[in-house]
Homo-oligomer: A and B are copies of this chain.
Amino acid sequence: MALLETGKYSQGSVLGSVNPDLASERQTASFSVEKLTAWLDGGAEHTRMRRAVVEAIERDPVFSRENQYFQSQNERYEAAVRKAVHLQEKMHEMGWTENGPEFKYIYRAVSGDIAFLLHRIFMRSISVLGSDKQIAKWMPLATQYQLIGSYAQTELGHGTYLQGLETTAVFDITTQEFILNTPKISAMKWWPGDMGRSATHTVVFAQLYVHGKCYGVHPFIVQIRSLQDHSLCPGITAGDIGPKMNFEHIDNGYLMLQNVRVPRENMLNKFCEVQPDGTYVRWGSQKINYFTMTTVRISLISDEVVIPLMKACTIAIRYSAVRRQSKLKPGEQEAKILDYQTQQEKLLPQLAAAYAFHLTNNYLQELFKKGYSEIQKNNFDRLPELHALSSGFKATITQYCTAAVEICLRACGGHGYSLLSGLPSLYTKILASCIYEGENTILLLQTARFLIKCFMAASAGQPVPPSVTYLAAAKPGKCPAKNKLDFLSPDIYTEAYQHTAFRLISSTAAKLQDLIQSGVKKHDAWNQCTVQLVQAAKAHCHYITVKNFAETVEKLETRAGIQKIMKHLCDLFALHGIFSNTGVFLHDGYISGAQMDMVTALYLDLLAVIRKDAVPLVDAFDFTDKNLNSALGSYDGQVYQRLYEWAQKSPTNKQMSPAYERYLKPLLHNTLSKL
């Protein structure tokens, strides 16, 4: 059985026998773990491929992450470069390609702990923004790592608001060059990965000036380090931005440009060009480029957000099944902490969320695949909807999952606080996803702008995109649930979510209109509604997530107990959402106080039901011990032995501390005579 096979990836210790408290949890699974794993992977074939990739990577000592929690930023960087270079050889050896089906499994297997991720963005930007000639020149070099690229957009003083970038590129007609400058300290490029220490080249985003006229932000390929000795090129100041909350392995960098000249051909010119005489020409539609940028937000959801949450749940739930603390019943032995209602209430909703967002990700992938094929036919109609969904889901899922990982960490008490639990690094890394690729509040406001627009259109009887058709018709009234069990009906709870989203969108639209009609200027009115607009956008995404979960469960075959447990998780996710946001459902009386008591009672009942399958449900995520890299989460549940063995390897135990000789000995040296 696959589960037992997983056990073989142990941390290299003498451990191996499964903690009986954990073993007993697996004996009563209500479903086939192996079948659930295959379903999560999208078929048994994918599971086989994933496991093959994982095995190949984990068998190779270069990819070991065992010392990660002991390493300095410098050591992490060195290891990440080594791994990235080695990975190229490995891929060649295994016959894997960057565009092949294995690639996503490779990224999962190395836990993203490699260098040159921005090099990939460098390549993508050339292939998307570059002309055929530019692609022919740069891509072969980049593909073979004969140069190392980065992507320099964000500045010290400028993140989200691209138009505000201050770096300039002035066209010099006499030399046919662009002269690049970061004229102020706030214009300094700041954050680009791979740039602090590795990159030889980067794509710099700068305000293009020709004959004194500004044409807005454009991308330029700029060499920053010598290919001979890696020293900085003339006019370049660059370095590492220093320690961060995580991503120690990445050399996020800064870059100043002083009269750096690049040839005219270095402006990426698929969509526009400065001709030799200074004429600025623009052609084609950039919409497909815009679409590509949008897909980045979707692509990070699985790798950077949902998988980390699945790991955190695996760690916290396995630990909660072996940790015993206090007595639940007098006279008995101490109870597993997973048997306490409060612990279930912390962890099980996060487990349900991991499944929910896995399915939301599938939904979005499908949607974007369809969108892409439409766009290739030059039909851009669905672009605004796709943009709104990618923004809203990037924001809501990163936010939800970050909070969820933090809950998992805190639910493990003191041991969760040790880096060796793996939870702190999962948390500090996932937290960044709330900020990069669009700050969440700003993204939610973009979704809200779309929703308000659609609401107005729908109110005026105009057609609206599929995901927002519910805005066309208010369905007033009350939740029809008569007793507790009615809330197990997906129709009942999905409609409650829909009603709430509708109410929040329509009431905010009304407030906005009232303000404008009362004479407040449009931009001021918008600002005064933003707190509520954010709420409305979240409610919309929450509704779509619940709806998609319920619809997916309905379509599942009933075999092997999988539909049944997924239905439980769907119910839990939906009811947890109501229980945690009672106010928005109670506000207009759609759900009454008495009905809310039913929701609460049912929600608490469900915790006890799902608790029985909690360990099999995380086993189905199928993480190896090496991949989890956690003293609390290993398959065998030998938590204390593992913590102890691992702690002994810490550098803090490697030597007699110099502090003793310097500071303690002088204090202690004549104590003996007094004792």
Give A residues with C-beta under 8 Å from B. Answer: 69-70, 72-74, 77-78, 81-82, 85, 141, 144-148, 154, 156-161, 164, 185-186, 188, 190-191, 196-198, 200, 227-228, 230, 239-245, 251, 254, 323-330, 334, 339-343, 345-346, 406, 410, 413-414, 416-420, 424, 428, 431-432, 434-436, 439, 441-442, 445, 521, 523-524, 527-532, 534, 581-589, 593, 596, 600, 604, 640-641, 643-644, 646-653, 656-660, 662-665, 667-668, 670-672, 674-675
* Cβ contact of A651, chosen from B73, B245, B668, cutoff 8 A: B73
Whether A342 and B534, one on each chain, are in contact in the complex, defined by CB atoms closer than 8 angstroms, is yes
Chain B residues closer than 8 Å to A240, beta-carbon distance: 647, 650, 652-653
The quantity of this chain's copies bound in the complex is 2
Most buried by B among A69, A330, A647: A647
Whether A325 and B414, one on each chain, are in contact in the complex, defined by CB atoms closer than 8 angstroms, is no
* Cβ contact of A410, chosen from B147, B431, B524, cutoff 8 A: B431
Chain B residues closer than 8 Å to A596, beta-carbon distance: 583, 587
Chain B residues closer than 8 Å to A81, beta-carbon distance: 657, 659, 663-664
* Cβ contact of A245, chosen from B147, B417, B652, cutoff 8 A: B417
* Cβ contact of A667, chosen from B146, B327, B434, cutoff 8 A: B146
Whether B527 and A340, one on each chain, are in contact in the complex, defined by CB atoms closer than 8 angstroms, is yes
Most buried by B among A159, A340, A647, A652: A652
Decide: A243 near B186, CB < 8 A? Known: A159-B325, A228-B672. Answer: no
Most buried by B among A196, A230, A245, A406: A245
Main secondary structure of the interface of A (DSSP, over half): helix
3 closest Cβ pairs, A-B complex? A582-B583, A242-B650, A583-B583
Whether A334 and B588, one on each chain, are in contact in the complex, defined by CB atoms closer than 8 angstroms, is no
* Cβ contact of A663, chosen from B85, B161, B340, cutoff 8 A: B85
Most buried by B among A418, A420, A588: A418
Chain B residues closer than 8 Å to A324, beta-carbon distance: 157
In whole angstroms, what is the CA distance A671 to B416 when docked?
Answer: 47
Chain B residues closer than 8 Å to A640, beta-carbon distance: 156-157, 185-186, 188
Whether A85 and B523, one on each chain, are in contact in the complex, defined by CB atoms closer than 8 angstroms, is no
Chain B residues closer than 8 Å to A239, beta-carbon distance: 647-648, 652-653
Chain B residues closer than 8 Å to A674, beta-carbon distance: 141, 146
Whether B668 and A330, one on each chain, are in contact in the complex, defined by CB atoms closer than 8 angstroms, is no
A428 to chain B, nearest CB (A): 8
List 7 A-B pairs, Cβ < 8 Å.
A73-B651, A74-B651, A77-B652, A190-B643, A244-B419, A341-B528, A586-B587
**Contacts A148-B667, A185-B640, A240-B647 known; 8 new A-B pairs at CB < 8 A:** A147-B671, A160-B326, A197-B657, A240-B653, A243-B419, A243-B420, A245-B419, A342-B441
A104 to chain B, nearest CB (A): 25
Whether A82 and B668, one on each chain, are in contact in the complex, defined by CB atoms closer than 8 angstroms, is no
Whether A141 and B675, one on each chain, are in contact in the complex, defined by CB atoms closer than 8 angstroms, is yes
In whole angstroms, what is the CA distance A656 to B442 when docked?
Answer: 39
Chain B residues closer than 8 Å to A523, beta-carbon distance: 328-330
Decide: A158 near B581, CB < 8 A? Known: A530-B340, A664-B148. Answer: no
In whole angstroms, what is the CA distance A534 to B343 when docked?
Answer: 12
Chain B residues closer than 8 Å to A664, beta-carbon distance: 81, 85, 148, 198, 230
Whether B197 and A156, one on each chain, are in contact in the complex, defined by CB atoms closer than 8 angstroms, is no
Chain B residues closer than 8 Å to A241, beta-carbon distance: 418, 643, 647, 650
In whole angstroms, what is the CA distance A156 to B649 when docked?
Answer: 17
A126 to chain B, nearest CB (A): 14
In whole angstroms, what is the CA distance A145 to B671 when docked?
Answer: 9
* Cβ contact of A671, chosen from B141, B156, B242, B668, cutoff 8 A: B141
Chain B residues closer than 8 Å to A652, beta-carbon distance: 73-74, 77, 196-197, 239-240, 242-243, 251
In whole angstroms, what is the CA distance A643 to B155 when docked?
Answer: 12
Residue of B nearest to A655 (CB): B74
Chain B residues closer than 8 Å to A69, beta-carbon distance: 242-243
Whether B242 and A77, one on each chain, are in contact in the complex, defined by CB atoms closer than 8 angstroms, is no
Chain B residues closer than 8 Å to A197, beta-carbon distance: 652, 657, 659-660
In whole angstroms, what is the CA distance A658 to B254 when docked?
Answer: 20
In whole angstroms, what is the CA distance A560 to B588 when docked?
Answer: 43
* Cβ contact of A668, chosen from B146, B196, B668, cutoff 8 A: B146
In whole angstroms, what is the CA distance A227 to B669 when docked?
Answer: 7
A116 to chain B, nearest CB (A): 10
In whole angstroms, what is the CA distance A323 to B160 when docked?
Answer: 12
In whole angstroms, what is the CA distance A343 to B441 when docked?
Answer: 9
Whether B419 and A527, one on each chain, are in contact in the complex, defined by CB atoms closer than 8 angstroms, is no
Chain B residues closer than 8 Å to A583, beta-carbon distance: 581-586, 596
Chain B residues closer than 8 Å to A587, beta-carbon distance: 582, 586, 593, 596
Chain B residues closer than 8 Å to A431, beta-carbon distance: 410, 417
A454 to chain B, nearest CB (A): 21
A328 to chain B, nearest CB (A): 6
Chain B residues closer than 8 Å to A524, beta-carbon distance: 329
In whole angstroms, what is the CA distance A424 to B427 when docked?
Answer: 12
A652 to chain B, nearest CB (A): 4
In whole angstroms, what is the CA distance A623 to B244 when docked?
Answer: 23
Decide: A435 near B418, CB < 8 A? Known: A583-B586, A588-B593. Answer: no
Whether B78 and A227, one on each chain, are in contact in the complex, defined by CB atoms closer than 8 angstroms, is no
Chain B residues closer than 8 Å to A242, beta-carbon distance: 69-70, 418-420, 646-647, 649-650, 652-653
Whether B164 and A243, one on each chain, are in contact in the complex, defined by CB atoms closer than 8 angstroms, is no
Chain B residues closer than 8 Å to A343, beta-carbon distance: 441
Residue of B nearest to A649 (CB): B242
Decide: A434 near B418, CB < 8 A? Known: A157-B324, A334-B164, A659-B82. Answer: no
Residue of B nearest to A324 (CB): B157
In whole angstroms, what is the CA distance A664 to B199 when docked?
Answer: 10
Decide: A146 near B671, CB < 8 A? Known: A420-B242, A650-B242. Answer: yes
Whether A668 and B586, one on each chain, are in contact in the complex, defined by CB atoms closer than 8 angstroms, is no
In whole angstroms, what is the CA distance A648 to B154 when docked?
Answer: 18
